[in-house]
Structure 1
Amino acid sequence: MTAPRPVTEPPLDAPFPRAPLLIALRRFCQNYASFRGRASRAEFWWPILVVGLFPTAVQVLTGVTTGDWRPIDGTVVTTLPEAIVVAFGLVTILPVLAVTWRRLHHTGRSGAWFFLIFLPVLGIIWLVVLLALPGPRVER
């Protein structure tokens, strides 16, 4: 039986293909305001998954502990769980924008393609397609 090889990470401005969850989240936090460089699909989708599921996790935890199953939508903040979700959303706006910008760079596009989200329905769909595209092949 051989010992697992240690993971060698590329520099923060270079993509890390197939990054594990915790490493992708760490790189997400370290690059929170960096719009330069590139981000692999793993570096983009792992943090997006965590950011997207956080409000659901807070709502389930709140429902199980208090029995209050009202949806947390962030429009009116009247309880602590709602305040936590809103604060988390405000804290993660810039890092999500930055990792999206870097992911678009990795697909060979300008980060300005992000503004497709302002086109109703089709713009968001097209942006998700662009973000899901693979980056250039790298010879090893």
Structure 2
Amino acid sequence: MTFEQFANLVRIGQLKQEVPNKLEFEGLVHSGKVRLSDAHNTALNPESRFDLAYNAAHSLALAALRARGYRSENRYLVFQCLQHTLDLPSHQWRILDSAHRKRNLAEYEGSIDVDDQLLESLLRVADQLLEQVSQIKEMGAS
């Protein structure tokens, strides 16, 4: 996503441009790290692990977006921006897309059927997000 594409999303109200806040960024990364650590706990049931991993990924994706100076209230868009905030490969984006759809079924229809393969894939992507977000040094970099 180029600066112009981000600007277009701001113009149509999908993103808000805000000065990056180091404390907010660090809080989002901490939240993602703690949830991800808990999501790796195999003593928890798969539904809980999935919820923790999904929310960890969202927190880390939002941290990457905030580091760029943008905010979105739309979870899906936060994940979509990862291609440009962290150069996330499309195969990893597809995992987050699947997890998002599964999360919505659970949240809005009460249907939760977590398969082990999606959970393990989501954990791998979230681990990668944590690694990449932890390397962000300069806030507001485009």
Q: Which has the higher contact order (CA 8 A, sep 6+)?
A: 2
**Normalization by structure 2: what TM-score?**
0.30
**Normalization by structure 1: what TM-score?**
0.30
- Which of structures 1 and 2 has the bigger CA Rg? 1
The structure richer in helix per residue is: 2
